[in-house]
Amino acid sequence: MTTLHDMTVAELAAGLKAKQFSATEAAQHFVARAQADMNPGGTGSFLALNPEATLAQAQAADARIAAGTAGALDGVPLAHKDIFVTKDFPTTAGSHMLAGYRSPFDATLVQRLADAGMVTVGKLNCDEFAMGSGNENSAFGTVKNPWDGSRVPGGSSGGSAAAIAARLVPAATGTDTGGSIRQPASFCGVTGIKPTYGRASRYGMIAFASSLDQGGPMARTAQDCALLLSAMCGPDPDRDSTSLDVPAEDFTASLNADLKGLRIGIPKEFFGEGLAADVRAAVDGALAELTRLGATLVPISLPRTELSIPVYYIIAPAEASSNLSRFDGVKFGHRAKDFTDLESMYKQTRAEGFGAEVKRRIMTGTYVLSHGYYDAYYLQAQKIRRMIADDFQQAFQQCDVIAGPVAPKVAWKLGENANDPVADYLADIFTLPASLAGLPGMSVPAGFGNGMQDSETGSAKPLPVGLQLIGNYFKEAQLLNVAHRLQQATDFHLRKPSGA
Ligand code: GLN
């Protein structure tokens, strides 16, 4: 039998149903691996464990399996990005502001996965309030890329991607505001999907930019993502006002559909000068494989791709500046000890609680919303956001799905952009357009690069490259189908970093 940590979600679910091992055994195995990884030399993926709670969940799953009342994913372990609030584990959002915070309720997505029987191993590191592209903005330490410990895992769901690649969990939740599921999935060689905005509830996901934030699953295979996403989606009208009235769906139903006749749009703006040669080669290889499977490639244009950077970095900070006003030292989280009056308490609390990147965003956001600048920046950005969404609808008249790179280069060195936050922003160029349009997008392992183009000290270690697939609204099943067929024909998703 394959070791438990090398098994996919689908394999674990089957093994549990066949009683080859129990949910308790699986939970013990993964908790032990996570505990070992929390020692020096580990990836830094986990922020919190609660073995007692995990084992209690596993025992409940075993009881359901024994009684024959098990759900589809009963007993399968997973971990949650620390941006989802959880009753059984502390929730920090990667911020000192929430150190020690314990939520009285579970986020809807946490609840839905638990309802499907999944067992929570713990909480995963992320950029502070999900703001970042390398997981270097967490208040609780950086995360190492399991493929090369001197490199970032991507962000902001860096702990989720690294934990899956390092075989610490078979699956995890992530959130994607401007690429935070797709880009770390790409950098760590795992699979992740951000559904259509509004398809999965935002309730209990600590808000960054509410018109963009969307949770989704990350795992090693498209099939596993389909299994989790089927449990996560569906309306949550009483608790999330932007949750859409679109029923849940069985995303595994069409995984094996034939790709013959599928038109894949190739946006020329995604293949310009800024794209590293090693990334391009891997993406081209995956596209060639898809054509062998019957798809045809259609040249398309997304003319406002470049504008997605300034547009996103106006709208997201604007919403963040409003969302983060709740952290004032009164209602929850950190409160400064030394203050003289109410105003100094607010100021001191926020000065102590937030990290540099979060403060930068609050300042930018407050500025673009302020009187006199609102029209020039925020309103203008909203107009262009609409045009970006329209460009996609134009493109979808010529093709069924859109494909390209997830990021312009492979995972960069830890600390490489420490004095240049804008360098991180620019690397988001290929994920931001779909986020601004609210479209579903995913990252599928497409091959490996070596990072030589981007760093003089580039190592010869293989570094994963993801293929990005973008679909029209509610076409998650189609994206998962394309990804699954690609994974039937390739083995990039099965390779593992040395030591995992
Ligand atoms: N890198 C982007 C940012 O820093 C996206 C983050 C995300 O999707 N949460 O805002």
One-letter identity of residue 128? E
Residue 40 shares a structural domain with residue 169: yes
Tell me which of 45, 95, 103, 156 is the catalytic residue: 156
179 CA to centre of ligand 1 in angstroms? 6
**Up-side HSE of residue 116: CA atoms within 13 Å toward CB?**
21
Domain contains 269: yes
Please give the Cα distance from 155 to 160 (Å, whole number): 9
Domain contains 321: no
Domain contains 367: no
Closest atom of ligand 1 to CA, residue 427: 1
Residue 44 shares a structural domain with residue 166: yes
Q: Ligand 1: which of 133, 213, 412, 436 to mutate, judged by most atoms within 8 Å of the beta carbon?
A: 133
Domain range for 105 is: 4-232
Closest atom of ligand 1 to CA, residue 208: 9
Tell me which of 160, 180, 321, 443 is the catalytic residue: 180
CB count within 10 Å of CB 25 equals: 15
**pTM (predicted TM-score):** 0.97
Pairing of strands 171-176, 214-219: antiparallel
Domain contains 370: no
Tell me how many degrees the CA angle 283-285-287 measures, rounded to the nearest 5.
70
Q: Ligand 1: which of 125, 160, 180, 422 to mutate, judged by most atoms within 8 Å of the beta carbon?
A: 180
Residue 53 shares a structural domain with residue 194: yes
Please give the Cα distance from 255 to 229 (Å, whole number): 13
Cβ distance 224 to 166 under 8 Å? no
Domain contains 325: no
Q: Which of 232, 252, 272 is the last residue of a domain?
A: 232
Q: Which residues are bridge partners to 46 per DSSP? A: 124
Q: Which residue has the tokens 């992320």?
A: 126
Residue 43 shares a structural domain with residue 151: yes
Residue 217 shares a structural domain with residue 278: no
H or E stretch covering 470: strand 463-471
CB count within 10 Å of CB 481 equals: 26
222 CA to centre of ligand 1 in angstroms? 23
332 CA to centre of ligand 1 in angstroms? 24
Residue 177 shares a structural domain with residue 280: no
Q: Ligand 1: which of 95, 428, 435 to mutate, judged by most atoms within 8 Å of the beta carbon?
A: 428
For residue 401, give the DSSP letter.
E
Residue of the nearest CA to atom 10 in ligand 1?
A: 131
Tell me which of 81, 194, 413, 475 is the catalytic residue: 81
Which of 148, 147, 172 lies closest to 159, judged by CA?
A: 172
Q: Which of 232, 248, 275 is the last residue of a domain?
A: 232
Residue 227 shares a structural domain with residue 288: no
Closest atom of ligand 1 to CA, residue 424: 1
For residue 233, give the DSSP letter.
B
Residue 164 shares a structural domain with residue 292: no
Residue 192 shares a structural domain with residue 308: no
Cβ distance 232 to 196 under 8 Å? no
Domain contains 252: no
Residue of the nearest CA to atom 4 in ligand 1?
A: 132
Domain contains 330: no
63 CA to centre of ligand 1 in angstroms? 40
Residue 268 shares a structural domain with residue 217: no
In SS3 terms, 138-180 reads as CCCCCCCECCECCECCCCCCHHHHHHHHCCCCCEEEEEECCCC
Residue 77 shares a structural domain with residue 200: yes
Residue 168 shares a structural domain with residue 269: no
Please give the Cα distance from 383 to 359 (Å, whole number): 26
CATH classification of the domain holding 179: 3.90.1300.10
Task: Give ligand 1 pocket residues (Cβ under 6 A).
Answer: 130-133, 156, 176-180, 208, 316, 428
354 CA to centre of ligand 1 in angstroms? 17
Please give the Cα distance from 34 to 21 (Å, whole number): 19
pLDDT at 1: 62
377 CA to centre of ligand 1 in angstroms? 19
Domain contains 357: no
The phi, psi pair for 77, rounded to 5°, reads -80, 150
**Average pLDDT, consecutive stretches of 10 residues, N- to C-terminus, the chain (500 residues):** 92 97 98 97 97 98 95 96 98 96 97 98 98 98 96 98 98 98 98 98 98 98 98 96 94 98 98 95 98 98 98 98 96 93 97 98 98 95 98 98 98 94 95 98 96 55 96 98 98 92
Q: Ligand 1: which of 128, 138, 156 to mutate, judged by most atoms within 8 Å of the beta carbon?
A: 156
10 CA to centre of ligand 1 in angstroms? 30
81 is catalytic: yes
Closest atom of ligand 1 to CA, residue 361: 10
Q: Which of 188, 210, 232 is the last residue of a domain?
A: 232
The alpha carbon of residue 198 and the mean position of all alpha carbons in its chain are separated, in whole angstroms, by: 16
One-letter identity of residue 257? A
Number of separate domains in the chain:
2
